[in-house]
A and B are shown apart, each in its own frame.
Chain A
Amino acid sequence: MQKIIAKPSVIRHLNKLRWLVLATVFSILVLLPFLHLYQTYAAAHAYDLLYPHEKLIYDSMEWLTSPFVSDAEQDLDAIKGTTWSGSLFGLQLSDPLAVLSQISASLSIYWPFLLTALIPLAVTVVLGRVFCGWICPATFIYELNDTLAGWLRRAGVPLGDKEFDKRLKYLVLAVGLLVSMLLGSIVTAAIYPPAIIGRELYYAIAQGGFGVGAVFFILTILFDLLVARRGFCRYVCPGGALYSLLGRYRLLRIQRIVSKCNDCQKCNVVCEFGLDPLRDGFGQECNNCTACIAVCPTDALEFKIAVKDIPYQGPGHLGHDYRRAQKDEAES
């Protein structure tokens, strides 16, 4: 009997790094409205007139930022916005979907805005749907929600696990752009969770209450929980659709090394997007989230530089099917 010992490798820990990045992005989105409030309090120069809870915000934000900024009112303008469109120390970054929607709504190109989407665009073309897995603040919530769903299932709560056609989201993208064009307003922003989360967190903290988007977002969470696992990202999200299309010929891909695979199916179970790593079925929707790499007991999944997935390589060489086939061949 061949002994399987997983070699310690660095890429197995990328999934933890990914979680760290997701949590950081989300906490920055929570922090920014507080920083904005602190800025306005600082600009008003009236500390004595603040309510106790406002003083608390002022003091804690001052404590947090005083090592880095000298003039809170001006210097804290360095980080503004959300993942939908934000500025980071003078660098403006925007979601390619925002640019595409603006072009379709106004039927003209506003070049300064188009340029802000170039870096995300280049990253997507090279690394694929990497925003979805590594940055998107909605993914953070959806993955926690998925973990919760796992616990509920284990406790015996019947939850839906329906499957739809994954191409539905391309239709949503097309319809969203078409409606944007007809209404002359960017409606994709209202159905795109990362844009909603950034906005709603800001509304809730700095504007005194959640807006309409929060209801939509809660509906998507319930959809994920009760109807289809990670259903929104898989079947509906217009941004995910755009990124999938852009990342179709990405350079960095996860590939299965058939000689190490033992057909354990853990990768298929853990895959958030319902892909099929076990049969080399990654496709354009893989977001390089590395969850399958982290869970693989034999280190059979690795990053490769290639423009195309390799076709199905047959059962893994460490699995029963392959060994039985080998035995049959030897006997005959």
Chain B
Amino acid sequence: MFIQALIGTALIQSWPQVQAANQPSFRFVRPPGSLAEDDFLSKCIHCGKCGETCPNRCIKYLGMENGIESLDTPYIVPREQACILCMKCGDVCPTGAIESIPREAEPILEKVCMGKARVDRSLCLSWQGKTCGVCYRACPLQDVAIRIGRLEQPHVLEQCVGCGLCERSCIQIPQAIRIIPSHSRRQKV
């Protein structure tokens, strides 16, 4: 039984089409402080220490669904479990694929760029006139990354690092605020 289950899961995981069918729009971000995608892949040795250290258990590992290059590399799906910006993964990463960043607002804003949140106004309760504001309250960088206007309508600002706590907490189904992954470092202006 055990062996069967094991082979079964692994085969299903290794089959790209099955994976694609299960998750029609697979959208993930890399852990905070990750290098740009190409650099990240060439540095990451797939050791699994980032996930093993993550206190929020948000870091998961890719199978074959994103190609052989990113097999066993870490990813975060914010809607399932979002990053709390504790920055422990960067501290343990031995390879420099995830940069070590101190847990303070300044360096995080400067260096972390997992993605950027975007509000779908046709889904957002506040933009539809029903005062909500949950995403603003979930944000660890309030008024820096996200601002609310009239009727608690969210406005995402330039500084958003893409941790995904807003997407995780959105009470709409499907979520009205999503992280658009950047897979690259913040371009300094």
B94 touches A85 (CB 8 A): yes
Give residues of chain B (92-132) contacting chain A, Cβ–Cβ below 8 Å. 92, 94-96
Complex: how many Å from CA A84 to CA B42?
Answer: 16
Looking at the complex, which of B61-69, B159-167, B174-182 is the stretch in contact with chain A? B61-69
Interface pair A211/B72, CB less than 8 Å apart: yes
Looking at the assembled complex, report how far the CB atom of B24 sits from the nearest CB atom of chain A, in whole angstroms.
21
Known A-B contacts A85-B94, A203-B61, A212-B13; A40 and B55 likewise in contact (beta carbons under 8 Å): yes
User: Which residue on chain A has the smallest CB distance to residue B70?
Assistant: A185
Residue contact A207 to B94, C-beta cutoff 8 Å:
no
A11 CB, nearest partner CB in chain B, Å:
34
Given contacts A113-B95, A190-B72, contact A195 B46 (CB under 8 A): yes
Q: Which of A73-81, A156-164, A237-245, A308-316 lies at the binding interface?
A: A73-81
Main secondary structure, interface of A, reads helix
Is B189 in the interface zone, CB < 8 Å from A? no
A-side contacts of B47, CB under 8 Å:
81-82, 84-86, 98, 189, 195, 198-199
From A18-26, A100-108, A294-302, give the one contacting chain B: A100-108
Q: Does A265 contact B (CB under 8 A)?
A: no
Q: Which residues of A contact B70 (CB under 8 A)?
A: 185
A208 to chain B minimum Cβ distance, whole angstroms, is 9
A105 vs B61: C-alpha distance in the bound complex, in angstroms? 20
Give the A-B contact count at a CB cut-off of 8 A.
139
Q: With A84-B47, A106-B42, A190-B72 known to touch, is A202 a contact of B52 (CB < 8 Å)?
A: yes
- Alpha-carbon gap, A190 to B92, bound state (A): 21
A39: nearest chain-B partner, CB-CB: B55
Residues in A with CB closer than 8 Å to B56 are 40, 43
Q: Which of the candidate stretches A213-221, A251-259, A284-292 sits at the interface with the other chain?
A: A213-221
A80 engages B92 (CB within 8 Å): yes
A139 at the interface (CB under 8 A from B): no
CA distance A211 to B63 in the complex (A): 7
**Is the pair B48, A198 in contact by a Cβ cutoff of 8 Å?**
yes
Q: Out of A86, A185, A195, A212, which one reaches B69, CB within 8 Å?
A: A185
B42-91, CB < 8 A from A: 42-49, 51-57, 60-61, 63-64, 68-72, 88
The reply to whether A81 and B9 contact each other, CB–CB distance below 8 Å, is no
Q: Residues of B within 8 Å of A, CB-based: how many?
A: 39
CB-defined contacts of A92 to chain B, threshold 8 Å: 94
Interchain CB contact under 8 A, B94 and A185: no
- The size of the chain A interface, using a CB distance under 8 A, is 49
Question: Is the CB of B38 closer than 8 A to any CB of chain A?
Answer: yes
Q: Quick check: is A174 within 8 A (CB to CB) of the other chain? A: no
- Taking the closest CB of chain B, its distance from the CB of A195, in whole angstroms, is 7
Task: Kindly provide the distance from the CB of A293 to the nearest chain B CB, expressed in whole angstroms.
Answer: 34
Q: Does A206 contact B (CB under 8 A)?
A: yes
Select one of A94, A183, A187, A206 contacting B52, CB under 8 A: A206
B173: Cβ under 8 A from any A Cβ: no
A87 at the interface (CB under 8 A from B): yes
Chain A 43-97 interface residues, beta-carbon cutoff 8 Å to B: 43, 73, 77, 80-82, 84-87, 92, 94
CB closest chain-B residue, reference A84 = B47
How far is it, in angstroms, between the C-alpha of A43 and the C-alpha of B57 when the chains are bound?
11
Q: What is the chain B residue whose CB lies nearest that of A199? A: B48
A87-B49, A110-B95 provided; 7 other pairs, C-beta below 8 A? Answer: A92-B94, A110-B96, A184-B38, A189-B46, A209-B13, A211-B61, A212-B64
Instruction: Please list the residues of chain B having a beta carbon within 8 angstroms of any beta carbon in chain A.
Output: 6-7, 9-11, 13-14, 38-39, 41-49, 51-57, 60-61, 63-64, 68-72, 88, 92, 94-96
List residues of A whose CB falls within 8 A of some B CB. Answer: 32-33, 36, 39-40, 43, 73, 77, 80-82, 84-87, 92, 94, 98, 101-102, 105-107, 110, 112-113, 116, 183-187, 189-190, 195, 198-199, 202-203, 206-207, 209-215, 218
